[in-house]
Amino acid sequence: MDDIEIVDAHHHLWDLGGLRYPFLTDEPKEDFFLGDNSPIRKNYLPADYRHDSACHNVIKTVHIEAECDRATQVAESEWISRINAEHGFPNAIVAHAWFDENNSEEILAAQAAIPLVRGIRSKPVTAAAPNSKQPGAPRTMQDPKWLAGFALLEKYDLSWDLRVPCWHLEEAAEVARAFPGTRIVLNHTGFPWDRSEDGLALWRRGMHALAAAPNVHLKISCLCLPDGPWTLESNRPIVLEAIDMFGVDRCMFASNYPVDGLRASYDLIYDSFKTIVADFPRADQEKLFSKNAMAFYRIDP
């Protein structure tokens, strides 16, 4: 499968001398979900991405907002557009906008006016553990103001990149059902962090709820554990089960680089994906590695 075309559906770039990224430039973030992030507290630019992905046939990429200072969220999209003009990638942008601010529609409109912007990633407020949720609190997925802003995505023809811990997936499924005209893609395989029997049962329940909504797609990415290495053996069953739940037509592979570099090399991640689906029909492999991402993010061939 060395020749298979790849559309990396989720990666980041950042220039710490340009925009400000608080989680990279301020005091180390003690609650970062992968622990010490000091190895990625440096510039990550097109040449770095090309170096990391050099052994794979990456033809297009999707840039996901990288938590820059929210005062410059539109500037981030403009910067990535200039990177595209100079380097030929990224080929689609998932930008940021809050849904519950007084100027939310103004920011959504500004992001939508940038030609490469295809969607929005806006993280709702989530709980640190399943037993500490506060449904209906400001900026949660039940907050009426948040939902009113979310409704604007369809107006501006923008998709939503959904990123929440697995104990919020059933709530996200309620949002998906309430807005069937909005394209949604779940990030990071729904975060199956807890690989115990009970932990996987919770993950499966949420994943099945989301998979039942036909407007929801899945990014198979960030199979990192808060503790422990990234391994083919531990992640193979998760990948296969996720594909089985959502179906080949609604899944796409992604690197989440450079963040996933805290646990695994780009080669390990994509070599593992290739190994896991080596017995799939070639047409299905092409969907998982490139065609589904091209379609979802409306990337020109």
Q: What is the pLDDT of residues 56-107, one digit of tens each?
A: 999 999 999 999 999 999 999 999 999 999 999 999 999 999 999 999 999 9
* Reported confidence tier of residue 131, pLDDT bands at 50, 70, 90: confident
Q: Which amino acid is residue 195, in one-letter code? A: R
| Structure-block tokens of residue 171 | 């709530």
Peptide bond preceding 90 in cis form (omega within 30 of 0): yes
Between 155 and 133, name the one with better pLDDT.
Answer: 155
pLDDT computed for residue 129 by the predictor: 87
State residue 137's pLDDT score.
94
- pLDDT mean over 265-289: 97
Each residue's pLDDT tens digit, 228-249: 889 999 999 999 999 999 999 9
Residue of 190, 196, 193 whose CA lies nearest to 251: 190
User: What is the arithmetic mean of pLDDT over 27-36?
Assistant: 74
Going from the N-terminus, what domains does the chain have, and what CATH number goes with each? 6-296 (3.20.20.140)
**Amino acid present at 14:** W
Amino acid identity of residue 17, one-letter, is: G
- List 219's β-bridge partners, or say none: 252
Question: What are residue 80's phi and psi, to 5 degrees?
Answer: -65, -35
Short-list 27, 51, 32, CA closest to 262: 32
Mean pLDDT for 31-54 is 91
Between β-strands 216-220 and 58-64, what pairing exists: parallel, antiparallel or unpaired? unpaired
Classify 291 as helix, strand or coil: helix
Q: In percent, how much of the chain has pLDDT > 70?
A: 99
Dump pLDDT digits (tens) for 178-228: 999 999 999 999 999 999 999 999 999 999 999 999 999 999 999 988 888
Q: Is 93 strand, coil or helix? A: strand
Residue 38 has pLDDT above 90, yes or no: no
The predicted pLDDT at position 178 comes to 98
Name the range with the highest mean pLDDT among 18-32, 129-143, 206-220.
206-220
Whole-angstrom distance, CA of residue 162 vs CA of residue 219:
10
Q: Are 249 and 287 in contact (CB under 8 A)?
A: yes
Whole-prediction pTM: 0.95
pLDDT band with cut points at 50, 70 and 90 for residue 30 = low
Burial class of residue 45 (count of CB atoms within 10 Å of its CB; 0-12, 13-18, 19+): middle
pLDDT of residue 55: 96
- Name which of 228, 285, 301 is nearest 252 in CA terms: 285
Q: How far is CA 186 from CA 43, 55, 80, in A?
A: 27, 27, 22
Report residue 2 as tokens. 């060395």
Secondary structure (3-state) at 269:
helix
Average pLDDT, the chain: 95
